[in-house]
Structure 1
Amino acid sequence: MIAAAIVILWLVWIVVWIAMARGVKSVAERAKGSRAHYLPMTLAVVLLAAPRLPLFPLDVRFVPAALWPAALGLALTFAGLAFAFWARARLADNWSSSVTLKRDHELIDDGPYRWVRHPIYTGLLVALAGAALAVGEWRGVIAVALAAVALWRKLRLEEAVMRRQFGDTYDRYAERTRALIPFVL
């Protein structure tokens, strides 16, 4: 039941995310290598979504097969996706799935962007961690690690584009706002 709820949350996220991608500003510039995160993110999804992965040690549990890890995982998945939705809605037509500079690009620093510079990534990592907890096997931990590395690389590309576009304004924003975890990282 909880596993089905998590799958439904992710499917809703995918459908809404695709629908929200319509009507964004046109691309002025695309960063080289800005789509390199697609492959590790896909591998992370496969590791998490596979009903069973009988490969030792990927199939070994890191939490007990109990209700509380699955329920906590569901809550984290919901909270992470909700945070990512909020960030995506606030970003509006400046959003892109790859690292791009849009025509008339705006620097957004309010809403969830007041707490972290990359709240979509924060939300996705929390949601993936929730799904990994619900799965309860080491493959979930590896999936989250793969996603974290891929998103960190993408984050670094975005930071370079934003610094080049917004200069000192972005530097001041980066000084007062952490990248992924409020007050920490």
Structure 2
Amino acid sequence: MDLQTIFIYAFIFIFIGTEMWIKNKTKSNNVSDSADRGSRYIIIGSVICCLLLMNGQLLPSVPHLPNFTVYLGLLLSLAGFALRLYAVSYLGKNFTLAVQTTDQQQLVDHGPYAVVRNPAYTGSILSVLGLSIVSLNPLTIILCLILLVVGYSIRLKVEEKALLNHFGNTYEIYCKKVKYRIFPFIW
């Protein structure tokens, strides 16, 4: 088994483990009334599609990136996991996997949420992109980036509408203060 395959399997194991931890940690935060509109499943679908693209047999053979790039991808992926876990933990009871709001919910505008509005999404995107870099296939990286941008754009639209409806002017002020949704100076 080559190094890339080992990293891909390790990523899948870590990804499933962290998502199960997050689900278990936040299950008491869920309410029956959700504004999610299926956006959670769009994110899951985009990540699964990215993982399927890691299979080198699905895409045409193109010149690969240099082998040392595997380590850069691994570091990016691990940093993404760490950021996601930090952002989820930072929100505490305010974090849910589905888009929803409650009367007890507070708008968090400090910590990682003072840099970007969705640092947990930033972490998820970085972890999947890191893994796509481990594949060493530029086409895989580009397709994964497109899938993630489309999936998270849909999710952001749903989430921002729910937060605006719930917090009103307070959320508008926060959005003006923290301009970037996912990546500083980019998105």
Q: Shared fold by TM > 0.5? A: yes
Out of 114-123 and 23-32, give the one that drifted further.
Answer: 23-32
Unaligned runs of 5+ in 2: none
The structure where helix makes up a greater share of residues is 2
Out of 129-138 and 32-41, give the one that drifted further.
Answer: 32-41
Match of 1:12 among 14, 19, 27: 14
Would you say the 8 A contact 2:50–2:132 is kept in 1?
no
- Partner residue in 2 for 1:76: 76
One-letter code aligned to 2:173: R
- Confirm or deny that 1:35 pairs with 2:36: no
One-letter code aligned to 2:50: A
The alpha-carbon distance between structure 1 residues 19 and 102, as it changes in their structure 2 partners (threshold 3 A), is farther
Would you say the 8 A contact 1:26–1:102 is kept in 2?
no
Would you say the 8 A contact 2:50–2:147 is kept in 1?
yes
1:37-70 C-alpha deviation (Å, 9 max, x unpaired): 132332122212x2x32542xx324x43x33211
Q: Where in structure 2 are the equivalents of 1:60-99 lying within 5 Å?
A: 60-61=62-63, 63-64=64-65, 66-99=66-99
- Confirm or deny that 1:21 pairs with 2:4: no
- Give the TM-score, by structure 2 length: 0.84
1:65-121 C-alpha deviation (Å, 9 max, x unpaired): x33211111111111111111111112222222222245222122221111001111
Which segments of structure 1 move beyond 4 Å, counting only runs of 4 or more? none
**How far apart in 2 are the matches of 1:17 and 1:164?**
28
Q: RMSD between aligned alpha carbons? A: 2.1
One-letter code aligned to 1:17: E
**How far apart in 2 are the matches of 1:159 and 1:20?**
21
- Partner residue in 1 for 2:175: 174
Residue 144 of structure 1, CA deviation = 2.4
Unaligned runs of 5+ in 1: none
1:125-173 C-alpha deviation (Å, 9 max, x unpaired): 1122211111121123212210221011101110010111111111111
The alignment of Structure 1 onto Structure 2 pairs a total of residues equal to: 179
